[in-house]
Amino acid sequence: MDEVQSAKQTVESLYQTLDGTDLLGITDTITAATTTDYRWRGFHPFDEMHGADTVADRFWRPLRVALTRLQRREDIFFAGRNSLTGDGAVWVVSMGHLMGLFDKPWLGIRPTGKMAFLRYCEFNRVENGRIAETAMYFDIPHLMMQAGLSPFPPQTAAHFVQPGPQTHDGLLAGTQPAEEGEKTLACINAMISDLGRWDSGLPLQQELAQSWADDMIWWGPAGIGSTYTIDRYALQHSGPFRAGFTDRSKTQHVCRLAEGHYGGFFGWPNFTARPTGGFMGMPATDREAEFRVIDIYRRAGEKLAENWVFIDLLHFWKQQGVDILGRTTRIESPM
């Protein structure tokens, strides 16, 4: 078995054991699957943690207490070598929802007693059969909105529990043709080159059409929403986003990879920018801030067809002096 397939099995084994264990077994399960210097990155308010004990105590156990009967509903699973480093590091990517019954408070969010979905995407670096590093990004505002809270002004695009790929073929358990992954990575790299400059000289729709299928879908985070077709994406997200920011830094990804028709990247942060024109219905601040982002893509033919996006908006607004999580749960929860 090659190293990429072996890494997939390492992550799959962790998921099977973790999802099936009780609360007391979480620490031992993560410890058995990870290295002694395990590094974990997550969205605000978790940020960066080190060691299986800390990750179990601060993230997994409280989440499992809050979302009872937790079930992993995975939509995309692939792996490959990090194209940005020369060390041959293998990363395994999983994306979907963690679904449970929202029975206890989590992060100050009042439980509903109903089904709730936490969007997640996780990058795991596997080294000698153990997970050495994890970037797990999750859409907390999406969960807040399911609980009836309003963390942001009305968003520009649509809000709902997001489906997986239109083609229903995102779980890549087996080996994929190398040339397909190379094509996907080339498409992603071309898109990054186009969008990263913000100065192509072309009208926005024409610029987007270089990398994207006309019927592309951008599955954005809660607070921005999801949008369909190049024209609506330009109108409902890309155009307003560019108008709202200046001084965008260069892209600084930690990992970028592809396998088959799927690929993606994450950064810590991906880039920085300054909100000088207002963003998400909030006023301009002119304070430079970080964007922690995961993007997952599906390629169709020669262009990108779907994009699932995770942005740490709680972290972004905290840098602007606004504690979205704290103020929303404090204001909208009864005394």
CATH number (3.40.140.10, 3.10.450.50, 3.50.50.60, 2.40.30.60) of 3-146 reads: 3.10.450.50
Nearest to residue 291, comparing CAs of 308, 315, 307, 275? 315
Report pLDDT for 76: 98
Report pLDDT for 199: 66
Residue 83 pLDDT exceeds 90? yes
CA 144, 145, 151, 155 torsion: positive or negative?
positive
With cut-offs at 50, 70 and 90, classify the pLDDT of residue 251.
Answer: confident
Q: Which pTM was predicted?
A: 0.95
Query: Hey, how many other C-beta atoms are within 10 angstroms of the C-beta on 249?
Result: 15
Residue 25 pLDDT exceeds 90? yes
Crossing angle of the two packed helices 26-33 and 3-20, in degrees rounded to 10: 170
Find the angle CA(70)-CA(127)-CA(24) to the nearest 5 degrees. 30
Q: Computed over its alpha carbons, how large is the radius of gyration of the chain?
A: 19
| Percentage with pLDDT > 70 across the chain | 96
Whether 125 and 103 have beta carbons less than 8 Å apart is answered as no
Cis peptide, bond prior to residue 163, ω within 30 of zero: no
How, if at all, do strands 262-267 and 289-291 pair? unpaired
| Domain ranges, ordered by start, for the chain | 3-146, 178-332
Q: Give the best-scoring range by mean pLDDT among 168-172, 207-211, 274-278.
A: 168-172
Q: Average model confidence (pLDDT) for the chain?
A: 94
Spell out the residues 6+ positions from residue 274 whose beta carbon is closer than 8 angstroms to its own. Answer: 245, 246, 247, 286, 287, 288, 289
| Percentage with pLDDT > 90 across the chain | 84
CATH fold of 178-332: Nuclear Transport Factor 2; Chain: A, (3.10.450)
Give the model confidence (pLDDT) of 153-206 as tens digits.
Answer: 888 888 889 999 999 999 999 999 999 999 999 999 999 986 555 666 789 999
Whether 202 and 242 have beta carbons less than 8 Å apart is answered as no
